Amino acid sequence: MKTLRGDRRFWGMVFSVLVIPLPLLAQDWESQILQVPQPDSCRATLFRLTEEPHVAGTEEGYRVVQYIQNRLQAFGLQPEIVAYDVYLPYPRTVRLTVTRPDSFVGPTPETGFPMDKDSYASNVFPGFNAYSPDGEAQGQVVYVNYGRPEDYETLRRLGVDVRGKIVLARYGKVFRGVKAKVAEENGAVGLLIYSDPADDGYMKGDIYPDGPYRPEFGVQRGSIQYMFLYPGDPLTPGVAATGEAKRIDPAEAENLPAIPTLPISYGDARRILQHLGGPNVPQHWQGGLPFAYHTGPGAAEVSIEVKMDYQIRPIWNVIAKIPGSQYPDQWVVVGNHHDAWTYGAVDPSSGTTVVLEAARTLAALVKQGYRPRRTIVFAFWDGEEYGLLGSTEWVEAHRDFLRKNAVAYVNIDVGVAGKNFGASATPGLKLLIQDILARVNDPKNGRPLLEQVWRTQNKKKKQLPPGLFTRDSLYLRFGHLGSGSDYTAFFDHAGVPSLSMGFGGPYGVYHAIYDNFYWMSHFGDPEFLYHAAMARIAALTAHRLANAEIVPFDIAQYAREMLKHAEKLQKTFGEEGVPEDMHLGGIIETCRNWLDEARALGGLSDLPADLNRDIVNEMIMEIERLFLSERGLPGRPWYKHQLFAPGLYTGYAARAYPGIFYFMKRKDWDKLAAEIALVQERLARALQKTRELRELLQSAGKN
Ligand SMILES: [Zn+2]
């Protein structure tokens, strides 16, 4: 037999295969996407984004907007700036005075450290809580732990009355706006929120600048807008805050808080805390300061003064698109905010860097002929820190279009604070995240992130599950979407399947002046390897969503989670005194049937060639929308999604079946029964849609 060995033509062929660039050879876009993102590029971007503090609506903020615009243009995209006019307060006076037993006028400014030039900035806003009303409050102080409803319950049992007092709450557990709402509901006249060293200070590890945790005078700025009622511009609920939009009076805006509120450091809080009388606190209320905490009131008396400059100010989103070749109207949106309380190295600029790097990656592919089937939209939101302003107004402006056409929203806020990958998502997109993690390696050891994340989540198990890389089912645990970032309007208001992801870490300088380039390059991601990895994840996720023949939405996981949540909620009915004839049996059964149908559907990767993909995709994309109801949730009509919402008393954490939970807690049995029927009807529609899809596939010859 004659072989080709030694034949010049053979070696010529081998040689030509080796030198032909990859894209011409196989259009292996995924491999290319993994190669483009680079740590050096990310470092340079983050450096530019964090040059100055850049609060929403400021000149410095606009310089960041221009930088983002210029970068996108350099990539070959055509960005546009989309402005809205929103009700935005800047601090004029924030004063904390301790009048008794010592006298002290603060708050103390954040300390400058010689190795970190940024920590000396004079153009940074002092510690303040955005949307605190103007006002003064004075009097004795009561310590309320995390300031949750159950904490005030404990105080009542201890016989401590907070009415007419200033309450001192520590940061953590719930969104700070919830602390303001609960303080108001309990009759407090003012609120101080401080960062306890037990929560993100020296009890966690070394403090800045020796370590990543919050130092003595580090203060957490932040909004206390009642976003759990509705986020976005307070004066234009439900509609975009354009120039001509109708605005309500600030006095009518339900998401504006009522009592003067001020954030302080533990350096200042200890001056108050150590002079509180009253009983000793329950053990789990004790924080990290070196004395036994008391509830108060007592010797300590303080006054708070807050004066804001409230005005309608412009904010600027930046939007750039890679048009889809086959379905230009179907949008995959990848976004993050660009406004920051200070320099915002972690929050938000690590995420902004990642989205820019993902845009650079996909735009580079476009130059080589890459044409995604669906349109990829890169979005850089303004005013997130104030109350998700830019994203909410944009979604409100495009609500009908997005409800009909948006395939998914991918959010990457706090893209990198360390090395631990985490994500929250609609149940339908969790399997996609797992799939992506199988393809991207952990920079630390070169192993697939899927393996790393599984090991972190299953510390006690030694053996990897045999099916881990087979894409057959979900092996990783991801959270639910509550609130606290820009996916809120997409998911809760417009029903767009959404996910939010990033690398977490020892992030003790949240919303402090130390969230800057020095922190990132010493503690967060010194080599910017995780920024590059996150950009690979973001670009690959956008690519898969935009290019998949069948939209990667996992109906079975949705059914599975709704079943689990219904069973869990049913268990609490007894404790809440719900009448025995009222139960979630109907919802549980519907979820079981839905899960069976979804399982019977099987994987959607081997569809018959003549089956119309457009119809299949349309049916899949409708599932999430079935859970929207125009009337919204009880007490908060802006929130349209009936299966998930931020908890009214958690603010960040998600609540499943929020309407049912609401009436159960209020012990309103008639309304509870109606709510159960409404939710069950929605789930039944999802079951029906899934059944139709299975029947369609069956008649087309699948299985
Ligand atoms: Zn953020």
Residue pLDDT, tens place only, 585-626: 999 999 999 999 999 998 787 888 889 999 999 999 999 999
Instruction: Return d(Cα 232, Cα 222) in angstroms, integer.
Output: 15
Q: Which residues of 376-394 are buried (b: 16+ CB within 10 A; e: fewer)?
A: bbbbbbbbbbbbbbbbbbb
**CA of residue 191 to ligand 1 center, whole Å:** 23
Backbone angles phi, psi at 546, to 5 degrees: -80, -20
pLDDT of residue 362: 98
Instruction: Return d(Cα 605, Cα 595) in angstroms, integer.
Output: 19
Question: DSSP per residue over 226-293, as a string?
Answer: -TTT--S-TTSTTS---TT-----GGG-TTS--S-EEEE-HHHHHHHHTT--SSBPPGGG--SSSS--
Instruction: Return d(Cα 597, Cα 559) in angstroms, integer.
Output: 9
Q: What number is the average pLDDT over the span 237-258? A: 97
Q: What number is the average pLDDT over the span 25-47? A: 91
> Counting beta carbons within 10 angstroms of the beta carbon of residue 267, is it exposed (0 to 12), middle (13 to 18) or buried (19 or more)?
buried
* Active site (annotated) includes residue 384: yes
Residue pLDDT, tens place only, 416-466: 999 999 999 999 999 999 999 999 999 999 999 999 999 999 999 989 999
Mean pLDDT (the chain, rounded): 95
**CA of residue 388 to ligand 1 center, whole Å:** 9
In this model, does residue 62 exceed pLDDT 50?
Answer: yes
**CA of residue 13 to ligand 1 center, whole Å:** 53
Instruction: Return d(Cα 341, Cα 359) in angstroms, integer.
Output: 25
pLDDT of residue 145: 98
**CA of residue 156 to ligand 1 center, whole Å:** 36
Which residues in the chain are classed under CATH 3.40.630.10?
33-86+313-547
In this model, does residue 389 exceed pLDDT 80?
Answer: yes
Residue pLDDT, tens place only, 399-417: 999 999 999 999 999 999 9
Which residues in the chain are classed under CATH 3.50.30.30?
87-311
> pLDDT band at 21, cuts 50/70/90?
very low
Q: What number is the average pLDDT over the span 15-42? A: 74
Q: Three-state SS string across 135-149, please?
A: EEEEEEEEECCCCCH
Taking each helix axis from N to C terminus, what angle separates 39-49 and 59-74, rounded to the nearest 10 degrees? 150
Identify the architecture of domain 555-699 in CATH. Answer: Up-down Bundle (1.20)
pLDDT of residue 703: 57
Radius of gyration of the chain (CA): 26
> pLDDT band at 27, cuts 50/70/90?
low
User: Of residues 85 and 4, which shows the higher confidence score?
Assistant: 85
**CA of residue 203 to ligand 1 center, whole Å:** 25
Neighbours of ion ligand 1 (CB under 5 A): 347-348, 413
In this model, does residue 231 exceed pLDDT 90?
Answer: yes
User: Using the 8-state DSSP alphabet, how is residue 515 labeled?
Assistant: -
Selecting among 216, 357, 384, 393, the annotated active-site residue is: 384
In this model, does residue 483 exceed pLDDT 90?
Answer: no
**CA of residue 346 to ligand 1 center, whole Å:** 8
In this model, does residue 15 exceed pLDDT 70?
Answer: no
**CA of residue 574 to ligand 1 center, whole Å:** 39
Residue pLDDT, tens place only, 485-507: 999 999 999 999 999 999 999 99
Percent of the chain whose predicted confidence (pLDDT) is above 90:
91
Residue pLDDT, tens place only, 84-131: 999 999 999 999 999 999 999 999 999 999 999 999 998 999 999 999
CATH superfamily of 33-86+313-547: Zn peptidases (3.40.630.10)
In this model, does residue 543 exceed pLDDT 70?
Answer: yes
Instruction: Return d(Cα 533, Cα 440) in angstroms, integer.
Output: 7
**CA of residue 364 to ligand 1 center, whole Å:** 27
Residue pLDDT, tens place only, 183-211: 999 999 999 999 999 999 999 999 999 99
CATH number assigned to the domain covering 87-311: 3.50.30.30
Q: Are strands 327-337 and 374-381 parallel, antiparallel or unpaired?
A: parallel
Question: DSSP per residue over 165-179, as a string?
Answer: SEEEEESBSB-HHHH
Contact 196, 266 (CB under 8 A): yes
Closest C-alpha among 118, 346, 85, 111 to residue 233: 85
Instruction: Return d(Cα 499, Cα 484) in angstroms, integer.
Output: 13
pTM of the entire predicted model: 0.94
pLDDT of residue 89: 98
pLDDT of residue 471: 81
Cα–Cα distances in Å, from 287 out to 176, 199, 293, 380? Answer: 18, 8, 8, 38
Map tokens 């979407």 to a residue. Answer: 481
CA geometry: angle 387, 392, 397, nearest 5 deg: 150
Cα–Cα distances in Å, from 309 out to 193, 235, 313, 574? Answer: 21, 16, 11, 50
In this model, does residue 61 exceed pLDDT 60?
Answer: yes
